[in-house]
Chains A and B, each alone.
Chain A
Amino acid sequence: MTASPLLPKKARPGAPDRTVPLVIYTVVTALLLFLALGDLVPGVKFPAVITSSLFLLFLGSLLLAFQWRANTVVKLVIAVAALLVIIPDIGRLNGSYFDLAIQMCIFAALALGLNIVVGQAGLLDLGYVAFFAVGAYLWGVFGSGQFQQIVKSDLPYTPLTVTAWLAPLLLAVVGAAGYAWMKGIDRAHPGAMKPKGPQRLARAVAVTLVVIGVVSALVFVATLVNAAITSYYSGHAAALVSLANGVNPNLFWLFIVLAVAAAAIVGVLIGLPVLKLKGDYLAIVTLGLGEVIRVFANNMTKYTNGPQGITSITTAPAPWLDSIAGSLKFQPEQFKLFFLYFLVLAVIAVVITVNVRLGNSNIGRAWVAIREDELAAQAMGVPLVRTKILAFATGASFAGVMGVVFAAKQQFISPESFSYFQSIGVLTMVILGGMGNIAGVILGAVVVTWINLSVLPGLSETIQSSFPGLNSNLDPAKYNRLLFGLVLVLMMLFRPEGLLPSTRQRLMMHENDDTDPADDSLNVDGAQGGALGTGATGMPDVRSPGLSPRSEDKRTGGKQ
């Protein structure tokens, strides 16, 4: 299976200079896009599907600027002009493209976060959307009238008596002491065998006690905070009224930071107990935990307003940005999108930077080592749990930030937005784009978001307006899963490494292709991995029963 010649390869030193084609491509797509939007020739309007395709083609110039070898200054000019001038201008002409661009960035950040967990560390997380939900609900509850509802009602927990929180705390102390004692024994007898039977049980009990203590301490602190807030506001009727639209919108910035912390903490809390599990076990448990968060959102009606969801969530005011937007002839109702667009750009810039820096650091190498071979990594001194937890927490924190932005943009969140389907959607973006490769992951997020939010609705609109009597059950927007599923299966069959695979990924996926000399992969492993003649992609029928035994005992998340 050769890489498609249509797709740009990452610029190599010997690649031809493509400055001129790049400029031509950018200018042509931009002009076409403006023509389609009716800005160049008044009265000319293209169907929505064509306009949105042109929008995607125009975004392609950013990708080409990144992938092609061209003059650096030209590349930078194109990137800056596209992101800071042209896309906002398109947003001014048609607000839905603003919305689309913001959604693309949100999902790109989510996909980058999941890429760390699945792509880098090889931990298959099927409940990733839980962290997104944490961020979204964090701001959703405080940034809307919901907060007033909470404060108005009674104390959420009956105040815990001293024994009720002191007892678990004591247990935690006992557990920690016991654990430390056992660690001390370990240190006194290095080289002793791994703990067995009763010792393991004792250890597990100690850890459980610590966890119970920590959780009850957290609950206790939450109760205290809650009691303090409630008593403050109930004494100040005016203060309570001021909460009609949530807390002071300027606190949005604080909540962005809080969301990073909250999502990371939830990531650690979820990660700690389950990281011992491997592959499929981890997949099902994370999937279950994602469902747990959704069930909580559905049922903790006082906080989340249950299935009805939270409405009219605010954002931070940005007067100076609004005045800029006003002077650029933006409509007042577009000011919010204008602000959120630049916010999202800034966040995604940070996310990409963090991703790149982490990827090239010791931590990034430790992640890859764990993904490739956990035992070997451990033997080489990589601290397994700490490294995995770090991957979980980093990925989660990206999702947390974007959850806040998502809540602010949609102004409405409900448990529906955080279903298992969303987790799979983000995983799709990662896989479709090319796992482990930042540009690929962003590409995947952009394309999938574009299909879901622009093409399918546009297509069904076109179809319904041209065939008014059509059975509404044939509406293509209702079948996005079908399309999604087809894309997934076909991609896995024909291009399992994604649209823009990282080099490592491409080599690994073609490890067994010893019959395909066109693939430039270093087939060093081919002799061993494909020794039993399994290779020969595209000829599934000739596979002998002898399948390469290497794949038998590998973990799911771990890319071999």
Chain B
Amino acid sequence: MDIVLPVLSSVLVNGLLLGILYAIIALGYTMVYGILQLINFAHSEVFVTGAIVGYEVFRVLTPTSLNPYLILVIALVVAMIVSGLLNVLIERLAYRPLRSAPKLVPLISAIGVSFILQDLLRLFEGLQGRFDLAVNVPTAFNQPLPFQPLGVSIQVKDLILLVVGAVMLFGLNRLVNHSRVGRAIRAVAQDRVTAGLMGIDSNRMIALTFAIGGALGGVGGVLFAMKFPNLNAYSGTIPGIKAFSAAVLGGIGSIPGAVLGGLVLGLIENFLGVISIFGSVFPKLAFLGAIKAEYKDVGAFIALIVILIFKPSGLLGRNTTEKV
């Protein structure tokens, strides 16, 4: 009995952390979707690129005597730039020529880009004799925090995740909702033709959206590499699917929705990961012991389906009315 409360609070804290991570990645999907109605399948690779950039920065700079926080800032900035530029490049080469094609066409092209990037990343790391990367985070980040929220011991890097994530989310919110550029982006998302008539260069706004989405993916990648230090070129697929699910769950195209979806998914997943513990605590729930932690992905998807059945356009999505 006495383990239930600590388990629940650790589910809460870890779910929150994972949720923020998902939310940051999900924003990349949702922004692109909001403006182009396109699932950018390559986003998971953009995000892994960020993670690998983070790995490389940590690998090179950790042995030096630089301040670990400076290393982190360098890693984040480099990852943002690389991932952002990569995303813009992808948009330019693989999506822009297809903008007036039926929707399945850019989707397939996105899947193709995602495959290309996976193998390119693998080639890049493979040529240096590396395949499974073990991210070496500066030791300062692995220290436990002096205080324990809800009695859960968390590490400095978790706090970093929380702070960086929150800063990113608020920054994006300000950018999109309270700036001229953000207004232009929203205008293009709403109606590209009319926005063009108002003097907005929609190509530039779309490229900018891709840059922002990619940069968020890069930040998410570095944070992911810190939290889950085992990486390879294909590591992005599952978190990518999860983050996209989070975006769908919250109502794709909606920024607060992506955050909410990420948090909900992170919490559900963490809860399902430990649900078998309850089987050992409550004899009547012994059957829960059969639920392995691996099934947390299954549970996350089933939760997604159940929520979508009742809210077909996601938690915060607007119901689109169809014109006949």
Contacts and interface: CB of A to CB of B under 8 A. Distances in A.
A281 interface: yes
A544 interface: yes
A509 interface: yes
B6 interface: no
Contacts of B203: 543, 545
Interface residues of A, number: 71
A204 B196 CA distance: 44
Interface residues of B, number: 71
Contacts of B96: 540, 543
A289 B100 CA distance: 30
A485 B322 contact: no
Interface in A275-295: 276-277, 279-281, 283-285, 287-289, 291-292, 295
B98 A492 contact: yes
Interface in B292-316: 292, 294-295, 297-298, 300-302, 304-305, 308-310, 312-313
B39 interface: yes
A124 to B, nearest CB: 7
B132 interface: no
Binding site of A, secondary structure by majority: helix, strand, loop or mixed? helix
A481 B111 contact: no
Contacts of B244: 284
A288 B309 contact: no
A295 B295 contact: yes
Contact of B102 (A288, A375, A551): A551
Contacts of A493: 94, 97-98, 109
A285 B304 contact: yes
A276 B116 contact: no
A478 interface: yes
A299 B304 CA distance: 21
A513 B106 CA distance: 17
A303 B112 CA distance: 35
B150 interface: no
Interface in B98-122: 98-109, 111-120, 122
A506 interface: no
Contacts of B127: 471, 473-474
Nearest to B128: A473
A554 B195 CA distance: 20
Contacts of B100: 512, 534-535, 543, 547-548, 551
B116 A496 contact: no
Interface in B230-261: 237-238, 241, 244-245, 248, 252
B232 to A, nearest CB: 13
Interface in A392-434: 420, 424, 427-428, 431
A279 B33 CA distance: 12
Nearest to B117: A485
B102 A488 contact: no
Nearest to B100: A534
A511 B198 CA distance: 28
Contacts of A292: 297-298, 301-302
Contacts of A544: 196
A379 to B, nearest CB: 8
Given A283-B39, A556-B107, A479 B193 contact: no
B102 A508 contact: yes
B116 A489 contact: yes
Contacts of A279: 103
26 contacts: A124-B107, A273-B305, A281-B252, A283-B39, A284-B244, A285-B304, A288-B301, A288-B304, A291-B297, A291-B301, A428-B108, A485-B112, A489-B93, A489-B94, A489-B109, A493-B97, A496-B101, A509-B105, A534-B99, A543-B100, A544-B196, A545-B192, A545-B203, A554-B103, A556-B103, A559-B102
Interface of B: 33, 37, 39, 93-94, 96-109, 111-120, 122-123, 126-127, 129, 188, 191-193, 195-196, 200-203, 237-238, 241, 244-245, 248, 252, 287, 292, 294-295, 297-298, 300-302, 304-305, 308-310, 312-313, 320, 322-324
Given A291-B297, A481-B119, A534-B99, 13 more contacts: A276-B312, A283-B107, A292-B302, A424-B111, A485-B112, A485-B114, A491-B108, A509-B101, A509-B105, A540-B97, A545-B201, A545-B202, A551-B103
